[in-house]
Amino acid sequence: MNLKKKLLLTAVTCAMTCFYGVTSEAQSKPQIEDTIKALETEADSYDKENKKDLAKATRELIRYQKALITVLDSNREDMLKTAKDCINDATNARDAVLMSYFIKENDAEAIQLEKAKKPKAAEACRKCTQAAKDLKKAYETGDKNQIQSMKDALKKAQFQKDAVAIDEALWKNDQEKKIAERDGKKDIADTLTKLMDARRNLKNALNSGKEDEIKKARIKVEDAEDIRLIKILPDEIKAGEALSQKYDKEGKDELADAEKKICEAKSNLKKALDSGSISNIKTAKATLEKAEDSRIPAQLNMEIRWHKGEVASLERESKPNTAKVVREIIEIKEDLIKATESDNEEQINKLKQKLRDLDRVKYATKLTDEIVQNNKDIKIAEEAKNTKRVERLKSLIEAKQKLSDTLKTSASWNDIKKLESVMWRASELVWSTSLEADIPKLTNEAATLEKDGRTDEANAVKKLSEVKKQLSAAFEANNSADITKFKAEHEKAEWGRDAARNRYDVKKLEEQSGKLASEGKTETLEVVKRIISAKKAYISSLEAGNKNEFQARRDAIKKAEDDRKKAEAKDKENEAKKKAQQTKKPAPSIGGGKKL
């Protein structure tokens, strides 16, 4: 739960327990002053969140609280009564506005839970919403008995909602426990068992509705959660540091920095938990939450950069419709960064939902674009009289069309996954026909390379041909283990052939370098050296399997090769100038160079 939502729930809880109202004749000035300070902090936070109506209602309540201080010492019962009445009215008005936001939050949460196929949690959320609506009406009427009755109803609905949420927390803890047991981490597994027991006790207390028992049970859950954190934080910090180093190597600086901050915050939380200081623990948890929130913009920025490359790739592949959807996704992610940085939760939820919807649209559009290409593939296969490939392509198109149509409906992801599995199988069978067609071509290519003395390349091509045979056989047998194995080997074999080609290119370019140097073609020579360097870097990436570097290496090679044309033109121009100077005859002197 983020800090803003905590603040809203705290304010709602205070409203339900009359924290800000005048509930006792014995209330002192210091108590009222503390209340005013708390309200001022809330009002400022509401301003930042652009909840102007709630901020205004809170400041109106502050005004009456301040007025109460001025009349508290007087013997004017009438003035004191008026001040208290004004505070009660202002409290009701402010709490009615507060309930509006609480209702909105619950509505949004219920929608998300329904989409996530969590009907029990969604129903509990809806009951909370209805109870909050009833309480809002009671605040607007000002009927004390009705307000108290509706407060009790909301409290009960909130308890039930919390009880339902515990079931999900128990399931997650159980999964964690199984992993800990599998990894031989008995102390973590035992800690999780105690946490689960504490959660079950809390659930029983919530269902009973006994507030004293609920309070005690919540404290025990918090204590058990803290013990769990003490046990798991060292492993999480270690994993985070490894992830940060990985991001550093991949050039993902923003994500690396965000991960470092999270690791630092987790280290501080571990120290705070070890110290047992409640205030330090609270501060450290808030700092960790902020650090984890800061990872979101970093992740989104990285995704945006990737999407921009995706757009360029889609346009090259003549998939304009999908490219258009990806541009929309980029715009929404840019807006989501702004909303996250301003902590605008309402906008964040709207944008996240738009992204979820667009993911489906993108998927459906991508399939439609692919169908266009598959229809072209059918014509080519028909011309080649490859009946097997034609039939399989038709089956693939049918599977893609069905999946695309379903994505445009509100079908669940489970239904979509079933159709996906049909599509992937059809795709594998089509790929198998491509592999079969490639093998004779590769056999001929290897023979030609061997004749030309290019043994390194010939061996790489033979290896690729062999792996294609194995992958095709795995597809035909529908052997998932072999498919996974030979897909990885196929990818490596492709890299191997690419590396062999580039090694040959480097050898030829190095031979050209000597000739260019002897001919004095300095401009071209410098660019050729750049091409050699770029190709060697690409070969290193291929051999290491660093996929993240491939495109950047290819771009560097292309840039250098494009520059070579300009360099050759420059050398030609320089050579022409040099020849012109050499053929130019000196002008004859007058009188044989003697003075007249």
Q: How many CB atoms lie within 10 A of CB 354?
A: 18
pLDDT digit string, tens, across residues 160-189: 999 998 988 999 999 999 999 988 899 999
Residue 316 confidence class, pLDDT cut points 50, 70, 90: confident
Whether the predicted pLDDT of 360 surpasses 50: yes
Q: First-to-last CA distance in the chain?
A: 105
268 Cβ contact partners less than 8 Å away, ≥ 6 residues apart: 284, 287, 288
Cα–Cα distance measured from residue 290 to residue 265, given in angstroms and rounded to the nearest whole number: 9
Nearest of 249, 247, 280 to residue 263 by alpha carbon: 247
Cα–Cα distance measured from residue 311 to residue 315, given in angstroms and rounded to the nearest whole number: 6
What is the average pLDDT across 408-421?
A: 85
What is the average pLDDT across 441-459?
A: 95
455: enclosing H helix or E strand = helix 455-477
Average pLDDT, the chain: 88
Whether the predicted pLDDT of 24 surpasses 60: no
At 27 the pLDDT is: 63
Q: What percent of the chain has pLDDT over 90?
A: 58
Cα–Cα distance measured from residue 552 to residue 314, given in angstroms and rounded to the nearest whole number: 17
Whether the predicted pLDDT of 431 surpasses 70: yes
Q: Which H, E and C letters describe 504-523, residue by residue? A: HHHHHHHHHHHHHHHCCCHH
* Residue 279 φ/ψ region, left for φ over 0, alpha for ψ in the -120 to 50 degree band, beta for the rest: alpha
What is the average pLDDT across 273-287?
A: 90
Local structure of residue 19 (DSSP, 8 states): T
Whether the predicted pLDDT of 397 surpasses 70: yes
At 391 the pLDDT is: 96
Cα atoms in the 13 Å half-sphere on the side-chain side of 203: 14
Whether the predicted pLDDT of 51 surpasses 90: no
381: enclosing H helix or E strand = helix 345-383
pTM greater than 0.75? no
pLDDT digit string, tens, across residues 60-81: 999 988 888 888 777 678 888 8
- Helices 29-48 and 52-72 cross at an angle (nearest 10°) of 170
Whether the predicted pLDDT of 428 surpasses 50: yes
pLDDT digit string, tens, across residues 100-109: 989 988 888 8
pLDDT digit string, tens, across residues 115-138: 777 888 889 999 999 999 999 999
Q: What tokens appear for 277 in the block?
A: 């200081």
Number of helical H runs and strand E runs in the chain: 18, 0
Whether the predicted pLDDT of 2 surpasses 70: no
At 347 the pLDDT is: 83
At 596 the pLDDT is: 33
At 20 the pLDDT is: 44
* Residue 210 φ/ψ region, left for φ over 0, alpha for ψ in the -120 to 50 degree band, beta for the rest: beta
Cα–Cα distance measured from residue 304 to residue 279, given in angstroms and rounded to the nearest whole number: 39
What is the average pLDDT across 331-355?
A: 85
